[in-house]
A and B are shown apart, each in its own frame.
Chain A
Amino acid sequence: MPPLERVTVFCFAASYGLALVAELARLLQPRLILRVLSMVLGTAGLFAHFIYLVVHAPSLASSSGSMLFLAFVLAVFWLYGSLHHAKVAWGVFVLPLVLGLIGLGLIAPGRPGGDEPFWASARGPKFWGMTHGLLIFLAAVGICIGFLASVMYFVQIYRLRSKTMPGQGLKMLSLERLERMNRRAILWAFPLLTLGLIVGLGVSIQLGELSQGWRSPKILSALGLWVVFAILIYLRYGAHIRPRRVALMTIVAFAVLLLALGTAHPFLDEGAP
Chain B
Amino acid sequence: MNLLLAGCSFKTTPIELREKLAFDAARLPLALRELDSRYDVEAVILSTCNRVEMYLARPNAIGLPDIDLLAEFLAEFQKLPVEQVRSCLYERKQADAIRHLFRVTSSLDSLIVGEGQIAGQVRRGYELAKEQATAGPLLHSLFQQASAVAKRVRTETGISRGHVSVSSVAVDYVRQVFDHFGDKTILVIGAGKMGELTLRHLKDLRPKKILVTNRSPEKAVAVAQGCGGVAVPWAELDDALVVADIVLSTTGAPEPIMVRRRFNDILARRSGGAMLILDIAVPRDFDPRIHDGDRACIFNIDDLQRIREQTLAERQKHVTPAESIIEAEVLRFQSDWTRRRNGPIIGKLTQEFEARRKVIVTQLMAKLNGKLDMADKEYIEGAFRLLQNQLLHGPITALTEEQHDPTSLSLREALFKLFRLGE
Contact = CB atoms under 8 A, between A and B. Distances in A.
A173 interface: yes
B172 A166 contact: yes
B176 interface: yes
Interface in A170-212: 172-177, 179
Given A159-B176, A174-B177, A179-B273, A165 B307 contact: yes
A160 B293 contact: yes
A2 to B, nearest CB: 47
B273 A161 contact: no
Nearest to B184: A176
Contacts of B310: 165, 168
Contacts of A243: 273-274, 294
A165 B294 contact: no
A242 B294 contact: yes
B293 A242 contact: no
A245 to B, nearest CB: 10
A159 B271 CA distance: 23
Interface in A127-168: 156-163, 165-168
B58 to A, nearest CB: 42
B45 to A, nearest CB: 36
Contact of A240 (B271, B274, B294, B307): B271
A242 B293 CA distance: 12
A213 B234 CA distance: 66
B173 interface: yes
B179 interface: yes
A6 interface: no
B273 A166 contact: no
A158 B294 CA distance: 9
Interface string B178-193: 1110000000000000
B293 A174 contact: no
Nearest to A156: B176
B161 interface: yes
Contacts of A111: none
A158 B297 CA distance: 11
Given A165-B311, A167-B172, A177 B179 contact: yes
25 contacts: A158-B293, A159-B176, A160-B176, A160-B297, A161-B294, A163-B306, A166-B162, A166-B169, A166-B172, A166-B173, A166-B176, A166-B307, A167-B172, A172-B176, A174-B176, A174-B178, A174-B179, A175-B178, A175-B273, A176-B177, A176-B180, A179-B273, A242-B294, A242-B295, A243-B294
Given A161-B291, A161-B294, 20 more contacts: A157-B294, A159-B176, A160-B177, A162-B293, A163-B299, A163-B303, A165-B162, A166-B169, A166-B175, A172-B176, A174-B179, A175-B178, A176-B177, A176-B180, A176-B273, A176-B274, A242-B294, A242-B295, A243-B273, A244-B294
